[in-house]
Structure 1
Amino acid sequence: MLESLQQKEPPSEFVDVAERNRKNQSHGVNRADRLCQDEDFAAAQEEWEAVQCVEPILRSPHKEDFHKSPKKHIDGSSSSPAKSPAKSSQGLPPNVKITPHTDFDEVWDFFTRQDMSHVMGSIKPTLEQRGVNGLFRSIFGPKKLKAELIEERNLLFAIAQCQFDNNEPIHLQILQTVYKVLTSTKIDCPRFGSHWDVIGFQGVDPATDLRGVGLLGLVQALYLLTHEPLLPLARDIFRLSHDQHSQFPLMVLSINVTRISLQTLREGYLNKECNSRSNVRHVLNQFFTAVLFHIYWIWKTESKTIKDSGFIIKDAEAYCKRNVKTVLQKLQAQLRKYSHDEAEML
């Protein structure tokens, strides 16, 4: 699935969501007809009837409503955001939910308290090279990660081994947050349906796109959308993904960038930055964002299309892993520009 962005063109739905909806109405096509064979789809359709169509324009949420910890908006006795009850909404059907947003810090806190032993045995956090290549790499290759950071690194790889679980509330909460922030909606969307293509998933079930990098693919997208300084960049990338010429499936691209980030960490190219900052997760997230910005900038300034995606991703992976410091600096320069532009508008 990770290769799907490089192998095939995006579905026609990406060209114009509104136009697609008009065509569906004119031909008598509706979501219930398409999903009636599946009970889950039928249930999702009932929920979705209460939600009006929205334009896919990401807006910066109000700080008091979004950037506060979700725990402050829910029952204080809850032990984790995963167990948080959805907000009740007067005037809405009883089967319609408004799940509070979560963020990266909440999710990280959740995973640090979980028993991850069931996946730890299958992670591959480093390259295991033996013989001459191994000796050469040990002498001339990247620095080793500090011992005190190994546990944090391994947890990141363990999260990437975790698959989406419909029975785990926090998994659903992450998915809902990503969708609602990008589309500026408040009501939870159905778990299955064609609406996921609005944010760049392929098919009616986002979990099928996540298999290559597990939950980490969603968690890093969550970081992009809940870290306030990154919101202007997230907005620009989302808009470009819906541009008639440059359109691309955003979430599939994001998942590819998560794969690149993990591989760069595995090969040791992020170790120097991690050691310097005494942190792995923030370096990995910053690098993820830097690679995404690198691809976005090339895509935009060189008027690339989905047909160029394979070459862009391949070149970005090769360049970014060899120039970690440079791409991180370029990202920071762009974020300062966003901050300066916003200050001038005040």
Structure 2
Amino acid sequence: MMNFSIWWVFAYYVRPIVKWFLRKTTGLCELQRICYGEISGAPRIKAVEYSLNMSRSRQVIQLIEHLNDVSDNQRFTGANEREILKGAVNTVLLVKNINPRVHYQFITSFSKCLEQIWGYRQLIAEVEELRRTTFDSDNIHHESKLYELWANLMPQDTLEGRITKQWQDIGFQGEDPKTDFRGMGLLGLENLLFFATQYRTPAQHVLSHSHHPSYGYCFAIVGINLTSLALVLLRDGSAKTFVYNTSKSLPSIRLFHQFYSYLFYEFDRFWVECKPKDIMEFSNIRNRFESNVRLVLQDPGTEFRIGVTVDDV
């Protein structure tokens, strides 16, 4: 409680004085100092995001509300994105009294930060929409994704039918995988499919680990559980480090799939290293894994990469 009070006093009273002093001595507003002084990627974008959210300017507050509405409704795309970014930058130039002819580099850096900040918010909306989409066995597109998942994970084996115990070979609980997608909807399937197609060799190695006689687990069920973890990290902002350091343009659903694939790849390695006695240790190991991931994401320089091979067990 005491720490919160100190922070509130600093944010409300001391911070504006410090900003005023630095503006007078450097001739630059806080946003300019961030864009010129902070390392590109997560450090710069997070600092810009914090500065904007702490602003008391009525115009800036209204701008944030407008950008939130645009991204929440997934209208931050294409030509609309360019016009919105241009208008947002011009608003800040006017409010902060920044000369665009002199500070053209600021415009480039600041625009990039805005694209990432509200692209991230839009990504949450896009991911949530997929999660709310129920897997429909009567939908030919949903079914084709399911068959494609099998084909990439088990290329040597042909499915005997749509309803079959073979689905258990890739870690579904029963004879019909649709029942396992209830919690994460179509998002769970699309995550699994992306991992199996875009990182096919690592995914097949991970699948082979799931068949281990001592350390085995249900590949698909664990994968859907990790979809839930990835979504939680996206919602609470922990995944910003990954997105801000990885995205070169407007963050897309592909970036979330890449984040998920990294989590699955690393969880498998962590699971094997833990040498669990049985599947009953899953909850504990999963929680430890989440703590490790959160710790890594606290480093603003963090970048995730998936290797091309997985060691045999």
2:217 aligned residue: 248
Q: Relative to 1, partners in 2 of residues 1:181 and 1:257: Cα closer, same or farther, differing over 3 Å?
A: same
**Is the 1:161–1:213 Cα contact (8 Å) retained in structure 2?**
yes
Equivalent of 2:147 in 170, 173, 176: 176
Measured in 1, the distance between the counterparts of 2:258 and 2:295 equals: 15
Aligned to 1:223: 194
Deviation at 1:189, TM superposition (A): 4.7
Q: Does 1:235 align with 2:204?
A: yes
Counterpart in the other structure of 2:270 = 298
Residue number in structure 1 paired with 2:251 = 279
1:295 and 1:312 in contact (8 A); partners too: no
CA distance in 1: counterparts of 2:266 and 2:298, whole angstroms: 13
- In structure 2, the partner of 1:99 is none
Deviation at residue 310 of structure 1 after TM alignment: 1.2
Residues 217 and 255 in structure 1, CA contact (< 8 A), matched pair in contact too: yes
1:202 aligns with 2:165: no
Deviations 1:57-112 (A, max 9, x none): xxxxxxxxxxxxxxxxxxxxxxxxxxxxxxxxxxxxxxxxxxxxxxxxxxxxxxx9
Q: CA deviation at 1:187?
A: 4.8
Runs of 4+ with >4 A deviation = 185-189, 328-331
Letter in 2 for 1:191: R
| Residues 153 and 280 in structure 1, CA contact (< 8 A), matched pair in contact too | no
Q: What letter matches 2:268 in structure 1? A: Y
Cα distance in 2 between the residues matched to 1:330 and 1:147: 20
Write the mapping of 1:184-199 to structure 2, written as runs, cut at 5 A. Answer: 184-185=155-156, 187=158, 189-199=160-170
Identity among equivalent pairs (%) = 22
Within a 5 Å distance, the mapping from 1:93-104 to structure 2 comes to none
Residues 1:176 and 1:262: Cα distance change in structure 2 (over 3 Å): same
Q: Which runs of 5+ in 2 are unaligned?
A: 1-73, 75-113
Contact preservation (8 Å) 1:176, 1:189: no
Query: Using the alignment, how far apart are the partners of 1:189 and 1:161 within structure 2?
Result: 30
1:186–1:238 distance in 2 versus 1, CA, 3 Å: closer
2:126 corresponds to 1:155: yes
Closer, same or farther: CA 151–301 of 1 in aligned 2, 3 Å: closer
Aligned Cα RMSD in Å? 3.0
Question: How much does 1:164 deviate?
Answer: 0.9
Q: How far apart are the structure 1 equivalents of 2:303 and 2:268?
A: 12
Report how many aligned residue pairs link the two structures: 195
Q: Are residues 1:259 and 2:228 paired?
A: yes
Change in Cα spacing, 1:302 to 1:318, as seen in structure 2 (3 Å) is closer
SS at match of 1:323: helix
Q: 1:225 to 1:171 in 2, by over 3 A?
A: same
Q: Who is 1:310 aligned against? A: 283
Q: Which structure 1 residue ranges, 5 or more long, are not aligned?
A: 1-111, 113-142, 342-346
Taking a change above 3 Å as real, the CA distance of residues 323 and 189 of structure 1, as seen in their structure-2 partners, is farther
* Larger fraction in helix: 2
Q: TM-score, normalised by structure 2?
A: 0.56
The higher relative CO (CA closer than 8 Å, separation ≥ 6) is in 1
- What is residue 212 of structure 1 aligned with on the other side? 183
